[in-house]
Amino acid sequence: MSEAERAEKMDAVLQTGLDFAGRWFSPEELSLIVELSRDFPSLSLTELSSTVCELLAWRRPNGKLKYKECRAFLEQLRANGLVSLPALRKTAPNRPRAIAATAQSDANAPLAGSVGDFLPLRLQLVEGGSNLSSLWNEFVDRYHYLRFRVPFGANLRYVVESERYPGQYLACLLFSSPAWKMAPRDEWIGWNPEQRERNLQYVVSNSRFLILPWVSVRGLASKILSLAARRLPQDWQRLYGYRPLLLETLVDSSRFRGTSY
């Protein structure tokens, strides 16, 4: 894109506004972002994101800033050439792209039977920065066909174990922010764009579900999903300040039948 084309595109956006992740940024708000990045070039990307969130009142229902979403928005603006942002330093080193597999995620001895042999099941919430967090990342990156990706926006992770076999993990789950647009879901709900923008936060996506490959237990997947559907709303309410109303997922029909859902 030439400088003239970039300038023309930027002018058009600054006149009409821009939508990102369900939030509409007015021309005035976009102009403010441009001014902040120009007037405070020493701010880190995280600091600039937090400042933009504060000034534009971009918050979650529990009052916390949506700085992760804002950070992604700033990076998109810069990458697309829609807004001229300075080179922004980061306060922390980049997260490594590859997750090193260690012995802690090596395959265990095969587990087989029916779900009744392993009840009660325990869903353990995975907190960031813990040893369990690194284990969850390794399991998913090593054994899930989509591998590990840093989740965007609000999210919760769980590991599943049997109380009869403490420390013997059976599965991993990730729940995260939903797709902005999904035709089958939006048609099923029957909402218009304004209603979707207002209420999409009440939808949560089950974006990873991994039964560990050495586990072959009849009825396990359905039981885990049943427990998660009851557990997740209270955890989400506690951490993010609102209670989800709908869970969604996508199933690759070339790989799975999706009968557990």
Query: For the chain, where are the alpha helices, taking DSSP H only?
Result: 3-16, 27-39, 45-56, 67-80, 131-143, 183-189, 193-199, 220-240
The C-alpha atoms of residue 139 and residue 153 are separated, in whole angstroms, by 21
Residue 99 has pLDDT above 70, yes or no: yes
Domain assignments of the chain as residue spans, ordered by start: 3-80, 103-248
- CATH architecture of the domain 103-248 equals 3-Layer(aba) Sandwich (3.40)
Which helix (H) or strand (E) segment holds residue 113: the answer is strand 111-114
The distance between the two most distant Cα atoms of the chain, rounded to a whole number of Å, is 68
Contact 59, 53 (CB under 8 A): yes
Which pTM does this prediction carry?
Answer: 0.71
pLDDT digits (tens, 9 = 90+) for 16-70: 778 887 788 888 888 888 888 777 776 777 778 888 888 888 888 777 888 788 8
- Mean pLDDT, residues 228-238: 95
* pLDDT tens digits for range 104-123: 999 999 999 999 999 999 99
Give me Rg for the CA atoms of the chain: 21
